[in-house]
Amino acid sequence: MDQMTAGSRRQMHGIWSGRWTFILAATGSAVGLGNIWKFPYIAGENGGGAFVLVYLLCIAVIGVPVMIAEVLLGRRARKSPIYAMSDLAREAKASRLWGLIGWGGALAGFLILTFYSVIAGWALAYIGKMWQGEFVHAAPETVSNIFNTLLADKVALIQWHSVFMLMTVGVVAAGVTKGLGVAVRILMPLLFALLLVLLWYSSQYGDFARGFHFLFNFDFSKLTWNSVLIALGHAFFTLSLGMGAIMAYGAYMPSRADISKTVITVAFLDTLVALVAGMAIFPIVFAASIEPSAGPGLLFVSLPVAFGNMDGGLMFGCVFFVLVSIAAWSSSISLVEPVVAWMVESGRFNRVGAISLVGVGAWIMGLGTVLSFNDWSNFKPFFGMTFFDFLDFLTANIMLPLGGLLIAVFVGWKMARADAHKEIAETSDLQFDIWLLMVRWISPLAVAAVFVFLLWDKLLSGWWQLLLAAILG
């Protein structure tokens, strides 16, 4: 690696002040709408328990090893993912095509941002609704009406989408290391504390036993290959993996920080937040007779019911949605960091110019997601999916796992073993070998197996049965 270049890159974007700043930034990226909004609703749609178990397995067996790989790549190259991958491919004397990992990741991040901003806009809108007391003593049907009215109101959705996009552009323009580190340090623990308050509420007033049973009763009869794919995709989405966000943050990680310990901490915190959010939400869902499979509105209907009927709920509710918005904010900036860092490194843009361009593009494309919830809700040209559903499926369930698979293969098979070991020097030889086994074999094969089985399930099994029927007459 060219030391001069590495040194100047370090100055270009800044470096985290220590291991904990990296942990907070990476946790800030990982903990977001994925944990509080998406995890409960996809667990609900996919039958609960068995899905949750597969998700946890994916985090442990695929997520953690791939995250270590991403941080390692970023820190070794000290560049944005696009340049990092082409430098590292050259160093490993591998094909330049490995650079596609960087490009694919940048594209995935951009596409996720387009819908992430719209959903985060819902959380922003809910701060005002909470504040104005719209949910005080409201019945579940009233809350559900309020939510549906918001979805039907394009202008409001666009306004909140714009506010959120501006917030993202603002922070990225100022540079990732300034401001955000401080915000994340104070606000993330606060979010967690508030989730614990909600957990307490749902244990007192919700149907806690049923909620617990739903999330942790492993009924495999409900599991399909499609739900396994969703669990796998979500493991990547929730840990911000497979698209270079963590690689980009790894590039700002101090050289002496212990990568594996750090990664395990981040994955643990992220999983904890998702499980606590699930346990705060489902008991309320069951007590209020809301369908667990209610879809994207689950959080936005169940929790306001709880807040509306609890002492001090107005204030707690407001604070809660402020914190959800902040969690989304600290994630959205990491969605664009790979592409913005690359644009700046290319020498053609400064940070402000780069993020402005990306922000405008993502804002425009976000309008498609806005319309998916009203005018275009019945427009499903993408394999029977709305624009939003399709983007979500394409990014989380295809692009991120594929990116993760390629990252694992690159680190496991292409990069010199000694180079990888040098970056994670703190681990014992045995730990290193276990990790290498995972990135070489287990993670890629598991992702590939899910893709193959799904393809089989969706396309080929039908043909096969037809063929068999024809042969057997």
Give the interface with ligand PFF as residue ranges (CB under 6 A): 29-30, 32-35, 109, 112, 237-238, 240, 243, 245, 331, 334-335
Could you tell me the two tokens for 393?
């499926």
Instruction: Please provide the distance, in angstroms rounded to a whole number, between the alpha carbons at the two ends of the chain.
Output: 64
What phi, psi does 382 have (nearest 5°)?
Answer: -95, 85
Cβ–Cβ under 8 Å, residues 270 and 27: yes
DSSP string, 24-81: HHHHHHHSSHIIIIIHHHHHHHTTSHHHHHHHHHHIIIIIHHHHHHHHHHHHHHTS-H
Q: How far apart are CA 182 and CA 194, in angstroms?
A: 19
Q: How far apart are CA 282 and CA 182, in angstroms?
A: 32
Could you tell me the two tokens for 423?
């970056």
Q: Which single residue is written with the structure tokens 């369908």? A: 291
Cβ–Cβ under 8 Å, residues 153 and 402: no
Q: For CA atoms 291, 296, 301, 304, give the dihedral sign.
A: positive
DSSP string, 282-301: HHHHHHTT--TT-GGGHHHH
Residue 414 burial (CB count, 10 A): 15
Q: For CA atoms 324, 330, 336, 338, give the dihedral sign.
A: negative
* Residue 348 DSSP label: S
Which residue of the chain is nearest ligand PFF when measured via CB? 34
* Residue 255 DSSP label: T
What phi, psi does 385 have (nearest 5°)?
Answer: -115, 155
How far from chain centre, in Å, is Cα 301? 22
Reported in sequence order, the residue ranges of 356-441 that DSSP labels E, i.e. its strands, are none
What phi, psi does 16 have (nearest 5°)?
Answer: -65, 150
Cβ–Cβ under 8 Å, residues 247 and 72: no
Q: How far apart are CA 73 and CA 274, in angstroms?
A: 27
Closest residue by Cα to residue 71 from 297, 235, 252, 278: 252
Q: How far apart are CA 197 and CA 46, in angstroms?
A: 27
Burial of residue 312 (CB within 10 Å: 0-12, 13-18, 19+) is exposed
* Residue 273 DSSP label: H
- Give the nearer residue to ligand PFF in terms of CB position, either 168 or 372: 168
Residue 433 burial (CB count, 10 A): 13
